[in-house]
Amino acid sequence: MSEKFEKAEKSERPEKEAVARPAFDAAHWQARLDALRAAHHVPGATLAVLVDGGIHELASGVLHRGTGVEVTTDSVFQSGSIAKIYTSTLVMRLADEGRLDLDAPVRDVLPEFETADEEATRTITTRQLLSHTGGLTCDFTYDAGRGDDCLQKYVEAARGVALDCRPGTAVSYSSLGYNVLGRIVEVLTGLTWDAALKEYLFAPLGLERSMTLPEEALAHRVAMSHLGEPGREPDPAPAWDLMPRSAGPYGRVLVSAGDVARLARMHLDGGTGPDGTRVMSAAAVEEMQRRVVDVPDKWTVSSDGWGLGWTLYNWDGVIGYGHDGAAIGQYGYLRVVPHAGVAVVLLTNGGGARELYGALFRELLGTFADVRMPDAFEPPAQPPAVDFARHVGRYERAGVVITVSERDGKPHLVYEFVDGMKDFSPPLDVALHPVAEGVYAGTGAGPSFSEGYMPVVFATLTDGTECCYIGMRVAPKAA
């Protein structure tokens, strides 16, 4: 394994005094998982906690409310965007081996890569895609079929899709960018993205309950997605897997919670597997955790910044990393606290998953990692005085139009899918409550964005463009 990143600076992490932690009490945490899962109407969940070098796995509820099949610790869930950590780890391994220059234009590897902006096409780098700073949009979906060429077709179909913003001017969460990364993996390895994951990550780490395709998942106990109104018991979705194969690199790794924790342990162990096999260099592991960009919206995924793949957290001086994931009706959460050697993984199949995560992780991370997670995002009891008039207008990005106005004298916005995404959801009417200057709590969008309120953040990009952040995506002001 090449030491390509060996000269990289060490990440800044506050030194922590060793503190005595309680032993993991499986009965206690099983009871908490059961109670909180039921309280928040989550049909089923699995929990994995890495602490003191051991992984503890718990399960609660049912895989499918229609059949009543129970969740077990070896059950497989859809991880949603936690898949991006698998893709970024795979890309960093290839860079570690000297097969990829993170700072060279993507076009050096993928001559067919193209955006709607000619200059951006020439300059966007792999590092920018990893850190969501390339300007590529998130909401471009395209079913390229079930063939091994699905990512190649996806990248070709994405030609001409408008950028959210100019490369390097902001962080804007991009699933399209991660599919481009997946295609880079294919070109460099000569394998499909699916096969490369097996060879470079699943096999050396012994991940026996990690896969990418439905036919592989059918050999396991599989969680069904559930959909419904917040605060009620959700019903099984019309189909188990509503995502195309081409969604793989950004959102389609099928896993057990324990296997996600095993991937996290490799990162905590400096790039080595459980048997000492080196998957990537320690320097490359640290490079992934180094802050690339601050995040104006610090609430949608609880992030303080972004690294190369990892979402970065700063809990009152305690540094961590992780990622959230959302498939259609399934939600996953991963948090890693390096100073404590702790990782926590929660996978769910619907209901108030975000609220379950918030309550359970506050307890777990507080107990085992000295972390105080922030309270749920919500407007203060005494709303601050803000200048809302400056934000009124129309904001646009590919597939989405956001109209900000005053309705009955109060801040309001309409979030509308358009063009190829117009059938995704009816328009959302959102009342806005001021939290701070440029920061608002939106009602009416459901708990997927946060624990009850949707963060809406207005910011100015480095090139002076005014924008609106919703769901970690930039929408520039158009009028």
Decide if 416 contacts 400 (C-beta within 8 A): yes
Report which of 138, 149, 160 is spatially closest to residue 187, judged by C-alpha positions: 149
Catalytic residue selected from 81, 210, 246, 450 = 81
Range list of H helices, 290-396:
353-369
| Phi-psi region at 111: left, alpha or beta (left = phi > 0; alpha = psi -120 to 50) | alpha
Query: Helices then strands (H, E): number in the chain?
Result: 13, 21
The 3-state secondary structure of 126-187, one letter per residue: HHHHHCCCCCCCCCCCCCCCCCCCHHHHHHHHCCCCCCCCCCCCCCCCCHHHHHHHHHHHHH
Known catalytic membership, residue 2: no
Decide if 436 contacts 426 (C-beta within 8 A): no
Beta bridge partner(s), residue 323: 334
* CB contact set of 238 (below 8 Å; sequence gap of 6+): none
* CB contact set of 289 (below 8 Å; sequence gap of 6+): 11, 267, 307, 310, 312, 321, 338
Look up tokens 């220059």; give the residue. 101
Alpha carbons 358 and 341: distance in angstroms, whole number: 20
Burial 282-311 (b: 16+ CB within 10 A, else e): bbbbbbbbbbbbebbbbbbbbbebbbbbbb
Range list of H helices, 6-158:
26-39, 83-96, 118-123, 126-130, 150-157
Residue 111 has which token pair?
Answer: 């001559």
The helix (H) or strand (E) run that includes residue 285 is helix 282-289
Report which of 96, 31, 472 is spatially closest to residue 295, judged by C-alpha positions: 472
Give CA separation, 250 vs 83, 130, 181, 277, 455, in Å.
Answer: 6, 11, 9, 26, 23
Rg (CA), the chain: 21
Task: Give catalytic residue positions.
Answer: 81
